[in-house]
Structure 1
Amino acid sequence: MSTDVFTVLVVCTGNVNRSALGAVLLERWAGWYLPAPVAAQVRVTSAGLGAPVGAKMSRRSRAIAEALGTDGSAHRAAQITERAIRAADLVLVSSSDQRDEVLRLVPAVLRSTFTIREAGRIADSLTERSAPDSVDEMRALVTSIAEKRSVRSTAHGDDDIIDPQGKGDEAFRLMVRQEVPPLARVAQSLFGMPPAEVAAYDAAAEAAEFSFGGAQRVPADTDAEADAVAGADAARPRPRGRRRA
């Protein structure tokens, strides 16, 4: 593991929805909220346990990313590897089963691997602090999250985020409600996201007012559909509170 780069690995099944969205959000938030020298040392990656390698982020997830102030157009799905797991300071997965799969591959990462919802719940219990000033401080925060983890604090599966692939618009909205608030709390602890920003993302996730181009009747996500709805939410206000300059 590099001593001068803090790496976050976000994981789901196909790496085109949950982990793809999580990674582009975390990457954007690191750039917004961390001091510039520290942000330059943060690397956010994502991968799937069964990824269609090279596939784009699904068009609905791209629309969500745009509405939340980031851009998923450059994303391409990648297959998870043991090397990527070992290189990460923090591994965030989308379900309890995926956490188990990651730990079967690399048991040594137990203390740095969490479901997104679990990490957010624990991060929310930590004492509020300013943005970390170093990679070492971020690693210490991951250790603090691990130390506060209770054994089976929730029923197996209660920390899962819905996989919306192949489902309708409402599944994508539920994904946002389950994923974005805990991610914002992780960003509050790791990157110094201000409380007003966390509240703004909570409100945006709950409202889930995303335009998917009326495609709920179309179960598949294609590149042509992605092009058709590109920029559909560009005029929608971004969920920002007191973003730092």
Structure 2
Amino acid sequence: MTATPPFRILTVCTGNICRSPMAERLLQLGLDQQSPGSFAVSSAGTGALVGLGIEPHVAGFIRVMGGSTENFVSRQLTPAILAEQDLVISLTRAHRSKIVELRPALLKKTFTLRELARILPAIDVPLGLSPEARWEAMIPLAMRARSMYRSAPEDDDVVDPYRRSDEVYEQMRRDIVPATNAISGWTKYRI
């Protein structure tokens, strides 16, 4: 008997030290609370500050929310990393475009974080499937629902706080936390 591999989710921002690590760690925390071992969330950056840890302000947010900041090292987004993913979540529309440019086959499996959080409540998949199978079934339904939930860039993009004021870090947190909660919450109600 073989174990089902976890459903692989990649979060993507620019430097891979602020937004995508926060989304990664909070999604992993929320998804593990719903279905331990069913999901593997990682992150990368389109212009990564390779080898760095999570930015200290962001690390503080993650720890306060109950997530782990351990063993994180930023990495550059590559086609090879993208090839391994079941779902890719970008932090802006520009990141989503870069992802699709690097690996066009991911067009139908790439959403912005806030876009996916808006779409998921409208997606209903059959009960009785494993968490991984439910997420696989969700993707084409979310892709079709995307056209019903058109939005402006400011509704999809998470602000980049790097080297900016505390207020901008707080805005990033306000953009990310409800979205990651909505995504992991969708899992909760379907397991």
TM-score normalised to structure 1 length: 0.70
Letter in 2 for 1:31: D
Mapped partners of 1:4, 1:125: distance in 2: 27
> What is the match of residue 192 of structure 1?
188
Shifted more, 178-187 versus 44-53: the winner is 178-187
Gaps of 5+ in 1: 195-245
> What is the match of residue 9 of structure 2?
8
> What is the match of residue 31 of structure 1?
32
Letter in 1 for 2:123: L
Matches within 5 A, 1:210-221: none
> What is the match of residue 65 of structure 1?
62
Q: Kindly tell me: are residues 129 and 26 of structure 1, through their superposed partners in 2, closer, same or farther at Cα, counting changes over 3 Å?
A: farther
1:179, CA displacement in angstroms?
Answer: 1.3
1:47 and 1:79 in contact (8 A); partners too:
yes
Residues 1:176 and 2:173 aligned together: yes
Letter in 2 for 1:167: R
> Whose Rg is larger?
1
Mapped partners of 1:131, 1:167: distance in 2: 46
1:65 and 1:72 in contact (8 A); partners too:
yes
Give the fraction of aligned pairs with identical amino acids, expressed as a percent: 28
* The one of 109, 115, 120 aligned to 2:117: 120
> What is the match of residue 76 of structure 1?
73
Residues 148-167 of structure 1, C-alpha deviations (whole Å, 9 max, x = no match) = 11188123453110000001
Mapped partners of 2:189, 2:62: distance in 1: 18
Letter in 1 for 2:71: A
Q: Kindly tell me: are residues 74 and 152 of structure 1, through their superposed partners in 2, closer, same or farther at Cα, counting changes over 3 Å?
A: same
2:123 and 2:138 in contact (8 A); partners too:
no
> What is the match of residue 19 of structure 1?
20
1:168, CA displacement in angstroms?
Answer: 1.4
Number of aligned residue pairs: give it.
Answer: 187
Matches within 5 A, 1:115-154: 115-127=112-124, 133-150=130-147, 153-154=150-151
Task: Give the structure with the larger helix fraction.
Answer: 2
Aligned residue for 2:12, secondary structure, equals strand
2:119 and 2:149 in contact (8 A); partners too:
no
Aligned residue for 1:46, secondary structure, equals strand
> What is the match of residue 42 of structure 2?
45
Mapped partners of 2:127, 2:181: distance in 1: 15
Aligned residue for 2:117, secondary structure, equals helix
Residues 1:111 and 2:108 aligned together: yes
1:10 and 1:23 in contact (8 A); partners too:
yes
1:17 and 1:164 in contact (8 A); partners too:
yes
Shifted more, 71-80 versus 111-120: the winner is 71-80
1:122, CA displacement in angstroms?
Answer: 0.2
Letter in 1 for 2:12: V
* The one of 159, 166, 169 aligned to 1:162: 159
2:62 and 2:69 in contact (8 A); partners too:
yes
Letter in 2 for 1:163: D
